[in-house]
Structure 1
Amino acid sequence: MSVESPSTAPRLAPPRPHHPRRQPSRTPPYGFWRRLLPVLAAVALAIRLPSFLHPFWSPDEGYLAVQARILANGGELYETVVDRKPPLLPWLYEAAYTLLGDGSVQAMKLLAVAAQFGTAALLAAFARRRWGDRAGATAGVLFLLISVGFIPQDTQALTFEVVILPFTAAAVLFADRGRWGAAGVAVAGAFLTKQTGGVVLVPVLWLLWRTCGPGPAVRPALLRTAAGFAVPVAAAALLTDPAGFLFWTVTGSGTYAFSLTGSELHVLIRAFVNTLILCLCCVGVVPPVTRALRTTPRPAGTPLTDLWVWFAASAGAVTVGFHFYGHYFLQLLPPITLLATATLRSLRRERLRSVLSVPAWVCALFVVWAVFAPRSELVHAERVATAVREHSAPTDRVLVWGMHPQTYRLADRAPASRYLTAGLLTNFSGGRDGPQVGEAYGVPGAWRVFAEEMRARPPALIVDDSRGKPYGPERLPTLRRLLAGQYEPLPGTVEGTVLYVRSSGS
């Protein structure tokens, strides 16, 4: 009987230790939020400090400020003053103006800080729920760093898109938690801020179907979501004018939303440039995210399909209307932030800090740019406003024919028309210089109402601020006849802007 030597005996491999799947690290909620929220608040304030340097950064801010004064003095939305937007943000402006008067401008800048902070906190809550504490902190900070990555007029202004973001983040967070009624209310808040905000309903419904499936639970969840959305929207319609609400927010803007003829090249260039800027503000996270998507296996139980659905829906919202303004792209940032967080969470702590340092430096550059960027259009509006004050009395109503409604607020004069910009009457929008600009392309019925306003209460002063744009009076028969029959130009111009006063015989 032979005995195998130890050197020739077969060796059994030692048993492989069992490593259970590591769960996301989470500290008690109080400790996590006590540390993170002050950081998010400080960063949100820091990135928006330049916004306090100027009263208005964009025509949208000017429009809202003038609306607020009209509404606070007894005006009616969609009647005394009109806009293509839903009523939520005008109401917020009205409340601020009623409480604070002229101090409302600074108060609304604080609202923008709060909206950025709220969005960051909601994204942090979503990421923490799925991937743990570190992912939550990453998502909150990363969103704030990339949220100023466009030209200052798009990121420092209180735009409709800035106010949309916390509603969209809340809608997806509530849906992820199965709180369908609250998710519907959040979708309604986004829609009542700007129509395109309603696209967040797509990822909400995706999460509803993924959670409830085709079983009996889907119907009550769907009903709660629908009720949460419908009740606030119906209340807003009833608080304004249902017919006016429907017309100005849905049915009356077809030409504006879908006309592109003659402006294709300009629009495509703007889309390309703003896409490049978006890539620039995300430049630090693009390489590691790309590498992680290519090399890291997808963790079990943490699908990202809902985030890609959210991103695709937001991309559709950016595309609708074919305008591609920089502030439209802000709607992409929440899903981009969460997708990046999902892939960056596998990095070691030191590597993650190194990755985030790049968007931090890029963010700092954009903030510095906002501080020192020239404000030629604001300076022009201030000079025109000075001329308006010199040639009109405080009680006079004036008509500023242009795309800068902040002139009314800077001049402290009431507008003579419910249409605060020439765009509503001509279909002009920044950069749209094609053939679909003129009386025939304005909001249906607007020129009839405008003519009645001019007959009933002719403005003491008309300011032609078209400066060679395609909505100039020479291309608009109704306005041209009004100026020729009742007004005469003052000598000289204000950087190309012509002021008309009523002629002695009118």
Structure 2
Amino acid sequence: MSAAQPAPPRSVIARKAYWTRLLPLLAALACVTRVPSFARPLWNPDEGFLAVQARMLAHGGQLYETVVDRKPPLVPWLYQAAFALGGSGSLTPVRILAVLAQLLTAVLLASLARRRWGDTAGRTAGGLYLLVSVGLNPEDAQAATFEVFMLPCTAAAMWCADRRRWGAAGAAAACALLTKQTGGAVLVPVLWLAYRHGAPRGGVLRLVAGVTLPVLGAALVTDPAGFVFWTVTGSGAYASFTGSELHALVRALTNTVILAVACAGLIPPVVRALRLARTGAVDLWLWLASSAPAVLLGFHFFGHYYLQLIPPLALLATAALQILPRQRLTAAVLTSACCCVLFLAWGLLAPRPELTHAQRLASAVAHRTALTDRVLVWGIHPETYWLSERTPASRYLTAGLLTNFSGGRGGPEVGEKYAVQGTWPVFREEMTTHAPALVVDDSRGKPYAPERVPGLRRLLAARYEPVGEVDGAVLYARVARDQGD
């Protein structure tokens, strides 16, 4: 008769019981806070861009060659994988992955907080993060785009560094970097933790290897020169304040105020704690401070940039609440919950006129073309390709890549000479080799309208004629003599 197995330590039993109770609650909260994301076919042009990229990759496209964007490769690959499993006609598979990404972020933050400040802090950090995670314009907070999938990677990097798992911390930081460039900011607090914990030389080497090897691998799997150009060196004109100063400042102020409202339950305890005592969370302050450039980068101040601030804010608020009276915790949670309800209502009830326009335009495109026809949509709404199920005639899915227009940038910084370097020769070749059956001018008076872009104006004048209009967007079909090309 074999000896009886020893009972697991009491700490193991307590840990298992803790997570058995907390995980279902966080999962339910993650699902509730993402309900609006399933209420629309898509939320913003980034989702449309990624959906079109995924279809192009599935049909043999090569990232950074025939499928291009200024972003790293992980999210396009994620969309491609989701479409392979669930079909490309809906973003539901990607939306489910976004729920899981938010849940994973909350769990990692809860684990970090519990390790430092106890069981209650773990529940507080996970819950506060999910409640505040929807605290932006719904098109920024509910979209399944880069920041949502970057945040669990940054949280994982901090989680691993807190446990002195340096190689894993580097790999998680690399995943954040390969999701969006600004994800690499998490290396600042990770390096601080390595210094504070006195990481041995071997640990530092593992950290460096964990960061560099995945990035080098991604470059080699795609196109090394194209990878470097599109993700690092080719966006100089985009990262400029000139030409959109007032618009950018208004957007910065607006999104800052919106996030401040969402964080109404977090900010007071942090401010009060700073007046009373130090929280002893230097790495968390570094995490927040290093995430700030993500908001500043490019001087566009898009709302989804602000998402990177929320995990360190949630942890800092949790740290502050540990030294404040119990009623402060209750007030913080209730305030955050009320704000969350307001943002969920906004997401469910607010009209989305640009989506309606894209749907009407896509319907017209589908009506005037065959499924095998190539189409050029000259605008900043690539979702028209996805909604109409038509193949783009160019690898440049928005006019922004060919004119530097983005997010309201106007004036002297928009035009052919401000395009991403080398794009116009390639674009002209594409228009000759795979001439689109239909060109859609969706500029609607924006600074990149054909009358201000000679290359496109000449193309339309020589080979196309207007055949219709949808909400101000003009449709051009190839003239009869060109149909044999």
The two structures share one fold, judged by TM-score above 0.5: yes
Equivalents in 2 of 1:153, 1:271: separation in Å?
A: 16
What's 1:16 paired with? none
Match of 1:37 among 23, 41, 45: 23
What's 2:287 paired with? 310
Point out the more displaced range, 134-143 or 72-81: 72-81
CA-atom RMSD, angstroms?
1.4
What's 1:6 paired with? none
State the SS of the aligned residue for 1:321. Answer: helix
Q: Does 1:100 align with 2:86?
A: yes
Shift in Å at residue 210 of structure 1? Answer: 1.1
Conserved? CA contact 1:403–1:422, under 8 Å: yes
Shift in Å at residue 98 of structure 1? Answer: 1.7
What's 2:95 paired with? 109
Please list, as runs of the form range in 1=range in 2, the aligned pairs for 1:161-240 lying within 5 A after superposition: 161-212=147-198, 217-240=199-222
Equivalents in 2 of 1:51, 1:28: separation in Å?
A: 35
Deviations 1:364-401 (A, max 9, x none): 01001100011100000000011101111111000000
Runs of 5+ consecutive residues of structure 2 not aligned to the other structure: 1-10
Shift in Å at residue 434 of structure 1? Answer: 2.8
State the SS of the aligned residue for 1:256. Answer: coil
What's 1:417 paired with? 394
State the SS of the aligned residue for 2:475. Answer: strand
Please list, as runs of the form range in 1=range in 2, the aligned pairs for 1:359-438 lying within 5 A after superposition: 359-438=336-415
Please list, as runs of the form range in 1=range in 2, the aligned pairs for 1:104-143 lying within 5 A after superposition: 105-143=91-129
What's 1:3 paired with? none
Equivalents in 2 of 1:102, 1:162: separation in Å?
A: 20
What's 1:470 paired with? 447
Shift in Å at residue 75 of structure 1? Answer: 1.1
What's 1:14 paired with? none
Query: What TM-score do the two structures reach when normalised by structure 1?
Result: 0.91
Conserved? CA contact 1:398–1:416, under 8 Å: yes
Which amino acid is the alignment partner of residue 269 of structure 2? Answer: P
Q: Does 1:280 align with 2:261?
A: yes
Which amino acid is the alignment partner of residue 354 of structure 1? Answer: A
Shift in Å at residue 353 of structure 1? Answer: 2.1
Conserved? CA contact 1:27–1:133, under 8 Å: no
Instruction: Give the paired residue count.
Output: 472
Equivalents in 2 of 1:389, 1:41: separation in Å?
A: 39
State the SS of the aligned residue for 1:250. Answer: helix
Conserved? CA contact 1:93–1:104, under 8 Å: no
Deviations 1:12-32 (A, max 9, x none): xxxxxxxxxxxxx99821011
Equivalents in 1 of 2:315, 2:420: separation in Å?
A: 39
Which amino acid is the alignment partner of residue 121 of structure 1? Answer: V
Q: Does 1:61 align with 2:26?
A: no
Shift in Å at residue 73 of structure 1? Answer: 1.2
Which amino acid is the alignment partner of residue 331 of structure 2? Answer: S
Q: Does 1:244 align with 2:226?
A: yes
Equivalents in 2 of 1:174, 1:368: separation in Å?
A: 36
What's 2:7 paired with? none
Conserved? CA contact 2:321–2:328, under 8 Å: no
Percent identity reads 63
Conserved? CA contact 2:43–2:143, under 8 Å: yes
Query: What TM-score do the two structures reach when normalised by structure 2?
Result: 0.95
Larger radius of gyration: 1
What's 1:160 paired with? 146
Deviations 1:28-65 (A, max 9, x none): 21011111111111011101111111111000000010
Which amino acid is the alignment partner of residue 101 of structure 1? Answer: G
Which amino acid is the alignment partner of residue 213 of structure 2? Answer: V
Which amino acid is the alignment partner of residue 106 of structure 1? Answer: T
Equivalents in 2 of 1:417, 1:111: separation in Å?
A: 29
Conserved? CA contact 1:284–1:358, under 8 Å: yes
Equivalents in 2 of 1:497, 1:59: separation in Å?
A: 17
What's 1:446 paired with? 423
Equivalents in 2 of 1:402, 1:410: separation in Å?
A: 15
Match of 1:499 among 464, 475, 478: 475
Deviations 1:51-89 (A, max 9, x none): 111111000000010111111111111112110100000
Equivalents in 2 of 1:92, 1:29: separation in Å?
A: 32
What's 1:11 paired with? none
Which amino acid is the alignment partner of residue 264 of structure 2? Answer: V
Which amino acid is the alignment partner of residue 132 of structure 1? Answer: G
